[in-house]
Structure 1
């Protein structure tokens, strides 16, 4: 029984490390593993989570491959997702001002969507 929990714990721990990328210095002499967290185009600063700490440094210190990866990551991050438009969603296109409401104090008020949600929570209650 304990062996099963140990194996499950190891599996979950290994999943956390699966997304780490190996980063290489511009001269190719040093490498480290970490996850890209942020890139500021204006300053050229890169934030990488490595060893539980956020490392912030200039992109000039990275290899050409790593810089290309950062540019791809930035492009994907800025690209509009398909969920941006409610009309693209099966459930989203049926949501209108008449359907959505929010409890404000003791009364309900109509609400309009400001952006398309990524997830929906549907609740159904039946009484027989």
Structure 2
């Protein structure tokens, strides 16, 4: 849930950035807020005084194209981070004890050890290692 909130904040910050846009030939400029970029149509949407403007990416100056590409990469990174599972989710999704066998996993019952099998992800681990060489 916290990752979704972070994604929305990142997306809101992307859309609230007014800047000066310049045409590819450098002859025209205007102030507007970046709204979105459509990968398929290669169109940029900019809000200028509450009016949405759409234009092809190749109509922008090289600096503006670089800026839009950076914003698209930032949004993709934020989305990837938001959808990445947490460490707890990664552990829970694994088959519990898949690499352990019944000869190596034991539990203490009273004063003796009994063979054990994992049924859920434990809160704590105890590793006992010994060597005699």
Please give the TM-score of this superposition, normalised by the length of structure 2.
0.49
Q: Which runs of 5+ in 1 are unaligned?
A: 1-17, 97-128
2:83 paired with 1:84: yes
User: Shift of the alpha carbon at 1:21?
Assistant: 0.7
CA distance in 1, matches of 2:85, 2:46: 34
Please give the TM-score of this superposition, normalised by the length of structure 1.
0.51
Asked if the contact 2:17/2:34 (under 8 Å) is kept, the reply is no
CA distance in 1, matches of 2:17, 2:50: 14
Q: CA RMSD in A?
A: 2.1
Q: Which runs of 5+ in 2 are unaligned?
A: 1-15, 93-133
Asked if the contact 2:21/2:29 (under 8 Å) is kept, the reply is yes
Higher relative contact order (CA 8 A, sep 6+): 2
Aligned position for 1:57 = 55
Q: 1:82 to 1:44 in 2, by over 3 A?
A: closer
Alignment map for 1:91-110 (pairs within 5 Å): none
Aligned position for 1:102 = none
User: Shift of the alpha carbon at 1:41?
Assistant: 1.5
Task: State the 4+ residue runs in structure 1 displaced beyond 2 angstroms.
Answer: 80-88
Q: 1:85 to 1:41 in 2, by over 3 A?
A: closer
